[in-house]
Structure 1
Amino acid sequence: MPLPAARPRLTVAVTGLNATDSPGPGVAVIRALRESPDFDLRIIGLSYEALEPGIYLRELVDRTYQLPYPSAGTAALLERLRYVREQEDVAVLIPNFDAELYNFIKLAPELRALGIQTFLPTLAQLEARDKLNLPAFGAAHGLRVPPGRLLHAVAEVAGAAEALGWPLVLKGRYYDAAVVHSLAQAEQAFLRLSGLWGVPLIAQQYVAGQEINIAGLGDGHGRALSAVPMRKLTITDKGKAWAGITLEDEALLALARRFAEATRWRGGFELEIMRTPGDELFIMEINPRFPAWIYLTAAAGQNQPAALLRLALGLPVPLMDGYAVGKMFVRYAWDLITDHTQFQQAAALGEL
């Protein structure tokens, strides 16, 4: 009997290894990639800090290199990635943080010249769905988005509350949010969020209802190749899903398809939805990458990270139809034990 053909060896680099109480998507993306039947993968982790837990998950990550923070700019990032490419035969790179996407998108032609493929949204797509532009985006495409205002100074909070009402949602430029019920709370939240993420902040009208998230994958030509909705069962104090369950709901799938068609979205995305008691669907945020719960899509039968890997390589990806409804995830915390010499190496040398 002939032996089965060996899967081709492929090296993939992944960011977002901070698997904490507000986790990055990287570890979940890697778990999903490891289940791809198409390739024998070597995974290179790209970190920003030496204490990102994904660095030390040796069964998932073969080697890790530290990157400069996004604020260092594209030149510093490209120099570091050139070094990584000299050490590792990286064929595909999958970024997973909002704040780093601008630099990676700008560098896409240079990365291709190095032999590194990506599958990312365009800068125009990235900016159109930005929190700062979300109300205009919703109006342009007939999508329900809560009214909002940009806040550049704490003195503008009172005016926003008068226009939008209490309670009010204040959101950081990239991450973090607070629901506030009074002017004193709002001013305190403004100072905290602006200190972390700068200005402007976004003041958004509060919408009561059921929180639902949709993970999707756009082919860049107007099709959502995959869409899996999930209802949050438990959330952290930062609003992150700690448990969730897949849903069967055609209205949610249709919304994901409308988003992909309207934007011709390229790559992974997440729609954060609020379903009101009147069954209206409001888009609260549009995240331009896979969410931290993305492994649930693979467990439910639509492995979106593995499909994105094929897209980056120019391989065909069929439209994914059907997934396991009622599939749950429950996140947990545990103590990952490593040796101090590994931490010292990661901190001092920027690689492990």
Structure 2
Amino acid sequence: MLGGAKRVSVARHIKDAFRALGHQARVLSYELDWRVPAVAVAEVIQGRRWKAPDILDHLRGIIEARKVNLVLPFVDPAVELCARLKPLCPGVFIPVSDETLCHAMFDKLLAYRLFAEKGLPQPPLAGDTFPRIYKPRTGSASKGIIVARSAREVPPHICADDYQIQQFVEDAREFTVDCYVRTDGEVLSVVPRERLETAGGEAMRSITVADPDLLALSHRVLDALPLRGPVTLQFLRTPGGEYLLMEINPRLGGGVVTGIGAGSRMPQMLAQETLGLKPEPFHDWVPGTLMTRYTQEIIFAPCR
């Protein structure tokens, strides 16, 4: 896991999937600090910063020394890094999209242009209208977002070139769709969920929904772009019932456990492809499955 510090339950699901196939999986988590929750299920390796000049060499060394078979990014900066790592480690399963697409997905202006080119519905650019929402072009986890309902609410320090500025959709509901696309491009799993409560951009409560319009639009998005592996689509639903594509994270989302709890087989698909098997499409998950999170602490006491 790259940056999977808090993904304890996801790691457990993946270990269980390998176990069901007759393999004992050992999980490594690559982090800046070893004192993270992942230590409950993984060996934490203290690593480099994502932009360190030697990080690719450092990761390759660990992969070769520890005989790593699967590499999964769990934070945005690690995704593009994995795309660059992929051709350097041909014997390792690194289920991410190509580097150009990954780069575009983490620049909101490039993503907007690509979605427009493909004819995908999305909130329009603000132009001179209010209310509007300012999103940092390369931001994540809802950090730095500003909603302005009039010109007086626009901070004076704003540099428009650093933001994606779109019309703000009032009273919209947020939906996430957790998907899995096999290496050959076949869509194996599409599980929508509504985000009922969030904290820091992450779902704390969510529920699976089988909305035909959202399912159809999700397949349309996946057909339009050469995405691979785990993919997280994020949508707004307007009060009128229209779905608008907000962004695509070409990696596992933190709330993917909702779909897993509903019967999605994404961990099994990852395990099968890692082992050279060909997983089949699976869409028999249970709508109305609710996920809610709680906190549990891990204490790291200093040596005496």
TM-score above 0.5, yes or no:
yes
Q: Distance in 2 between matches of 1:240 and 1:84?
A: 30
Amino acid aligned to 2:2 = T
**Residue pair 2:4, 2:75 contacting (<8 A) in 1 also:** no
Q: Residue 174 of structure 1 aligns with which residue?
A: 139
Query: What residue in structure 1 maps to residue 87 of structure 2?
Result: 109
Name the structure 2 match of 1:29.
Answer: 10
What is the identity percentage for the equivalent residue pairs of Structure 1 and Structure 2?
25
Alignment pair present for 1:141 and 2:141: no
Give the C-alpha shift of residue 67 in structure 1. 2.1
| Residue 225, structure 1, aligned to residue 188, structure 2 | yes
- Distance, in Å, in 2 between the alignment partners of 1:140 and 1:183 is 30
- What is the DSSP-based 3-state SS (H/G/I as helix, E as strand, rest coil) of the residue aligned with 1:163? coil
> Equivalents in 2 of 1:230, 1:118: separation in Å?
26
1:93 aligns with 2:71: yes
TM-score normalised per structure 2: 0.87
**Structure 1 stretches of 5 or more lacking a match?**
1-13, 20-25, 149-159, 345-352
Closer/same/farther in 2, CA of residues 183 and 53 from structure 1, 3 Å limit = farther
Assess if the C-alpha contact under 8 Å between 1:105 and 1:122 holds in 2: yes
Corresponding residue of 2:56: 78
CA contact 1:92–1:118 (8 Å) conserved in 2: yes
The structure with the largest helix share of the pair is 1
Pick one of 225, 228, 231 that aligns with 1:263.
Answer: 225
Distance 1:232 1:188, change over 3 A: farther
Q: How many angstroms does 1:173 deviate by? A: 0.9
**SS of residue paired to 2:264:** coil
Amino acid paired to 2:154: A
Kindly report which structure 2 residues correspond to 1:180-219, keeping only aligned pairs within 5 A, or say none. 180-183=148-151, 185-187=153-155, 190=158, 200-208=162-170, 209-219=172-182
Taking a change above 3 Å as real, the CA distance of residues 123 and 79 of structure 1, as seen in their structure-2 partners, is: closer
Alpha carbons of 1:163 and 1:18: their partners in 2 closer, same or farther (altered >3 Å)?
A: farther
| C-alpha contact (below 8 Å) 1:28/1:293 kept by paired residues | no
SS of the aligned residue for 2:283 comes to: coil
* CA-CA distance at 1:124 after TM superposition: 2.9
Gaps of 5+ in 2: none
Residues 39-97 of structure 1: CA distance to partner in whole angstroms, max 9, x if unpaired? 3211111112344322x31xx21x11122111114xx1232224323542211111122
**How far does residue 259 in structure 1 lie from its aligned partner after superposition?**
1.5
Q: Cα distance, 1:185 vs. partner?
A: 4.4
Structure 2 counterparts to residues 292-311 of structure 1, below 5 A: 292-311=254-273
Of 98, 101, 104 in structure 2, the residue corresponding to residue 125 of structure 1 is: 101
Cα-Cα RMSD = 2.5
